[in-house]
C-alpha cells in the first residue's frame, strides 16, 4: 500500500488525496503553515491522519523556532470535528514540556498509530464471519491513518485471516471518499469490492445483501459518534434490518469531556455539493447546506472496536 504520509529530511510529505485515485502525487510541507493548508484543503484527511499530520506540523514549528503554544492554537483551528487534531497537538505540547523534542514525539506518534490500527484490526476480525458482506461509509482506511486503517483495518485483518469477505462502499457524497479512496484501497489489495450510491444502502440491507456495517469515527463522546455525513442514515437502516453496526476507532478519537451533541459539526464550502469534478450539477446560485459530519446515537451502535478491545458506546 502506498504511504499516506512520510517524514524525510525535515519535511512532511502528504499523499494528495484530492486527486486520488487517478494521480499519485505527494505535497511537500516544509512549514507548519503548509500542513495547516493541507488539512484545510483535505490533501490529508481522516481523523488519525489529521492527528499525525498535526503532530508533524508541531515538529515543523519547532524547526522553524516558532512558539509551540501559538502554533498549536493555529493548527487546532484547521478543522473542528475530528478530536485527534486537538489530542495530537496537546500530546506534543505535553511531551515537549517533559523535555522530549516535537520531532521525536511526532515520529513516535506516527509509529504508534500504525500499531494501534493493527490491534483494532485483530479485535475487529473477531466480529467478522466467513462469507460476510460488509458495508463501509467514507474512508476509514490506510489513507485516513498513518497506515492500515481502522474500519478498513478490520476488513484487511479479516482478509489476512483468509476469510472470504465482500465489501460494499458507499460513494460518500460530496467529497466521494468511498468511491475515490476506499474502493481504491480494496482494489489495491484484491479484496472483493462493489461501489454503490449513498441512497442504495437501505435497499441493499432490505434485500439481505449486507451482513455487517463497519465505519470509522471522527469523535466518540457521551451520546454517540460523529462520522462522515450519511453515517446516521446507514445506522438507522441497519437498526431497522437488525444488521450489526460497528464503529472502529482508536482511543485518541475518544472525547471524555464533551457531549457529542455539543461538538462543532464542520460546515464546508457549497461548491462541494454544487459541483462534481468541476462541473455544476445545479445552478451556481443555488442555496446549499453542507454539514460534513453527523451523529450516530449510541443506541444504534453495536460496539466500538478499539485497540483496547470492543467497547460499549459512551
Residue 46 C-beta: closest distance to ligand MRU, Å = 4
What are the backbone angles phi and psi of residue 243, rounded to the nearest 5°?
A: -100, 125
Question: Could you tell me if 250 and 150 are in contact, meaning their C-beta atoms sit under 8 angstroms apart?
Answer: yes
And the C-alpha cell for 283?
445552478
Strand, helix or coil for residue 231:
helix
Let me know if 69 is a catalytic residue: no
| 314 CB burial (10 A radius; 0-12, 13-18, 19+) | middle
Question: Could you tell me if 167 and 211 are in contact, meaning their C-beta atoms sit under 8 angstroms apart?
Answer: no
CA distance 18 to 285: 24
Residue 112 C-beta: closest distance to ligand MRU, Å = 15
Closer of 53 and 91 to ligand MRU (Cβ): 53
Closer of 91 and 117 to ligand MRU (Cβ): 117
CA distance 144 to 249: 11
Question: What residues line the site for ligand MRU (CB under 6 A)?
Answer: 45-48, 82, 138, 140, 144-145, 150, 177, 216-218, 227-228, 292
CA distance 88 to 27: 21
Residue 71 C-beta: closest distance to ligand MRU, Å = 21
Residue nearest ligand MRU, Cβ-based: 216
CA distance 225 to 40: 22
Residue 149 C-beta: closest distance to ligand MRU, Å = 6
Residue 151 C-beta: closest distance to ligand MRU, Å = 7
Catalytic residue (choose from 34, 113, 170, 218): 218
Closer of 103 and 148 to ligand MRU (Cβ): 148
Closer of 45 and 159 to ligand MRU (Cβ): 45
CA distance 63 to 92: 14
Closer of 136 and 166 to ligand MRU (Cβ): 136
Active site residues: 218
Amino acid at each position: 500500500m502506498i504511504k499516506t504520509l512520510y517524514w524525510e529530511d525535515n519535511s512532511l510529505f502528504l499523499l494528495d488525496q484530492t486527486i486520488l485515485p487517478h494521480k499519485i502525487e505527494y505535497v511537500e510541507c516544509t512549514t507548519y503553515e503548509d500542513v495547516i493548508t493541507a488539512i484545510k484543503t483535505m490533501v490529508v484527511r481522516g481523523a488519525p491522519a489529521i492527528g499525525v499530520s498535526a503532530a508533524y506540523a508541531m515538529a515543523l514549528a519547532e524547526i522553524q523556532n516558532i512558539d509551540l503554544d501559538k502554533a498549536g492554537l493555529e493548527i487546532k483551528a484547521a478543522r473542528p470535528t475530528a478530536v485527534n487534531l486537538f489530542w495530537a497537538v496537546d500530546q506534543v505540547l505535553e511531551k515537549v514540556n517533559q523535555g522530549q523534542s516535537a520531532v521525536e514525539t511526532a515520529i513516535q506518534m506516527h509509529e504508534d498509530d500504525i500499531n494501534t490500527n493493527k490491534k483494532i484490526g485483530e479485535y475487529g476480525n473477531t466480529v467478522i464471519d466467513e462469507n460476510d458482506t460488509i458495508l463501509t461509509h467514507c474512508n476509514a482506511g490506510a489513507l485516513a491513518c498513518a497506515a492500515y486503517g481502522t474500519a478498513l483495518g478490520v476488513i484487511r485483518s479479516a482478509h489476512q485471516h483468509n476469510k472470504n469477505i465482500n465489501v460494499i462502499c458507499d460513494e460518500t457524497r460530496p467529497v466521494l471518499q468511498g468511491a475515490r479512496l476506499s474502493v481504491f484501497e480494496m482494489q489495491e489489495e484484491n479484496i472483493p469490492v462493489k461501489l454503490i450510491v449513498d441512497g442504495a444502502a437501505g435497499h441493499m440491507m432490505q434485500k439481505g445483501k449486507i451482513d455487517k456495517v463497519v465505519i470509522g469515527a471522527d469523535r466518540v463522546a457521551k451520546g454517540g459518534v460523529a462520522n462522515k455525513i450519511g453515517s446516521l442514515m446507514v445506522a438507522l437502516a441497519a437498526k431497522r434490518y437488525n444488521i450489526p453496526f460497528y464503529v472502529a476507532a482508536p482511543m485518541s478519537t475518544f472525547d471524555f469531556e464533551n457531549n457529542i451533541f455539543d461538538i462543532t459539526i464542520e460546515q464546508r464550502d457549497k461548491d462541494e455539493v454544487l459541483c462534481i469534478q468541476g462541473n455544476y450539477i445545479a445552478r451556481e446560485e443555488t442555496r446549499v447546506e453542507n454539514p460534513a459530519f453527523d451523529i450516530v446515537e449510541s443506541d444504534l451502535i453495536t460496539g466500538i472496536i478499539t485497540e483496547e478491545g470492543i467497547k460499549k458506546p459512551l
